[in-house]
Amino acid sequence: MSLLPPYVALQDYKLIIAATGLASYFVFKRYEPSTMAPVLLILCGVPITLAFALRGNFNNLATATAAVPATYWALLTVFVVIYRVSPFHPLARYPGPLLCKLSKGWLMYYTGSTGKTYAYIHQLHQLYGDVVRIGPNELSIRHKDACVAAVGPKGLPKGPYYDTRLYDGEPSLEGIRDPALHAVRRRPWTRAMNSASMKYYEELIYNTVGDLVSGLKERVGGPVDIADWMSLFAYDFMGRIAFTYEYNMLKLGKDTHGLRQMVENCFFDLRWIAHIPWFIPLLKFMPGAGKDLDDLKAAGTKVALHRVSLGSTRPDLFHHLMDEDGHEPTKPKPEMVVIDGTLAIVAGADTTSSALSHLWALLLREPAYFERLRKEVDEAFSGADNIDFVKQAKMPYLNACLNETLRLLPPLLSGIQRRVERGSGGKMVGPYYIPEDTQISLVSYAIHRSIDSFSPLPETFWPDRWLAQEEYTLPSGELIPADDVHTNRDAFMAFSQGPAVCAGKNVALAEMRAVVCAVLRNFDIRAMDKRCLDTWEDEMVECFLTKTGRLPVQLVPRS
């Protein structure tokens, strides 16, 4: 005997659907389910069950299973829309585009279709001010005090953006959201980047820069895509530092492994998914959707197995991640080391290569800065050898040019995300009160171009802003006093800040300084296509990291 009534009055069954939809909305709002089972249960299981229960109100079961779920989903959507644009929403007082308030799907679409989300958010800040609502529960903040408050020593934990993992199982160091667990996993990275380890890495930098110069000397006269060669250098170096693995890209003049294309494909897939991380479990049911990730994982496993065959005689990154010196109470899982090591190669290579490529493009657009930097390099290295890591770290104009490049075109254009956790009571970020259950994005591209943190000329490549001077000469030739120049180092996010600051920051800076000095000492560089300089920023594409365009140059040996 059925326990369900054969018929419910018309007005009653509509009320039941509405009440069920409202209840489901409150479940989503309160618990934010992101795993497959509860999402499918609420979106599919509930309306189908409801259709079966109310089938007596329709001509047949087929009609019920079409009408009831459609009504249920429509009501669920209406409840979501009304609340998100209502004055009762915790973020109602913060301005932003309507599409952003309604759903992160808009930024997902914009990212996937244009790769220019960083520029879009920068435009929003120019329109709305220092704080912009870029999602139903997400704000972008560029206020001069926001960085320290959000990511400093007493900052906020990471947001769901970091749930976009490369592989199943253990997250990489970058993907760990629990601050306590992050601190534990970061310990071997700290040992891997201490002063003793740096001596070994400096030898690797020296040798890899030598391979770069040798490869470029074979191609004098041009055209040479200097951006491509910066990438070859970075991957060769990261292969050596992470796994003592020889990709030999510089010696061959190309990527015979297909690694760079593999990385590009992988991160292009992930760049839009990061805006809706709850969608990740669904990818497992889409044929071929995980192929790029699987290929990258296989490439990482290959070099890790090669490193295991070499033994523990080399103090590379793998040596420290595997804790071969026995500092930790328990040995790390090999698959965890593969994930961290692979991410180190990918992230370390791409950030360094894009930064160096940006530097060459900006210097070639500004010949006066180019000549000033080369003069400093020539005066510092009068002999044949052009790599002295201690001396390079103290070269003011070289470091000013690097800082200004990283400011204007940071490798991580969209920056980082943090979250004000439920139960925290909210958090003050700069002058703004941020309610709990809110994500905060610090978009480096927008923060670095804020006139409140970097003035004058925040949109202009002007290395002098990083130098201590009593008087400054603007690119126009106008003289201004030091009090009129503001360079807020607390808002400089090229390597992040606080507990999550880039572990390889010192290695990356040493790499870039060495490359710049070696190339300038050995070659005159002339742009072969001015259009590439004019459209350099237009060709950039954000895919977690940065994909740059071509930069063809002619190299002329210097005597």
Contact predicate 316/237, CB 8 Å: no
Report the distance separating Cα 215 and Cα 519, nearest Å: 11
Contact predicate 209/232, CB 8 Å: no
Q: Which two tokens stand for residue 107?
A: 């930024």
Report the distance separating Cα 469 and Cα 454, nearest Å: 16
| Bridge partner residues of 225 (DSSP) | 552
Q: Where do we find the tokens 């408050």?
A: 149
Contact predicate 456/485, CB 8 Å: yes
Q: Which two tokens stand for residue 371?
A: 């000549």
Report the distance separating Cα 294 and Cα 33, nearest Å: 26
| Bridge partner residues of 417 (DSSP) | 441
Which residues 6+ apart lie within 8 Å of 65 measured at CB? 48, 51, 52
Closest CA to 165 of 340, 320, 295: 340
Which residues 6+ apart lie within 8 Å of 472 measured at CB? 464, 465, 479, 480, 481, 482, 484, 485
Helix (H) or strand (E) holding 397: helix 396-408
DSSP notation for 437-467 = SEEEEE-HHHHTT-TTTEES-TTS--GGGGS
Contact predicate 155/440, CB 8 Å: no
Sign, CA dihedral 90-93-99-105, equals negative
Q: Which two tokens stand for residue 321?
A: 């991640």
Q: Where do we find the tokens 């994982």?
A: 297
Alpha helices in 86-194 (DSSP H): 98-102, 105-114, 117-128, 146-151, 179-192
Closest CA to 462 of 478, 474, 480, 444: 474
44 belongs to an annotated ligand binding site: no
Report the distance separating Cα 15 and Cα 10, nearest Å: 9
Cis preceding-peptide flag for 223 (omega within 30 of 0): yes
Contact predicate 456/157, CB 8 Å: no
Contact predicate 205/514, CB 8 Å: yes
Q: Is 354 exposed, middle or buried (0-12, 13-18, 19+ CB in 10 A)?
A: buried
Report the distance separating Cα 238 and Cα 175, nearest Å: 20
Q: Which two tokens stand for residue 100?
A: 């952003």
Report the distance separating Cα 63 and Cα 67, nearest Å: 6
Pick out the residues of the known binding site for heme. Answer: 502
Pick out the residues of the known binding site. Answer: 502
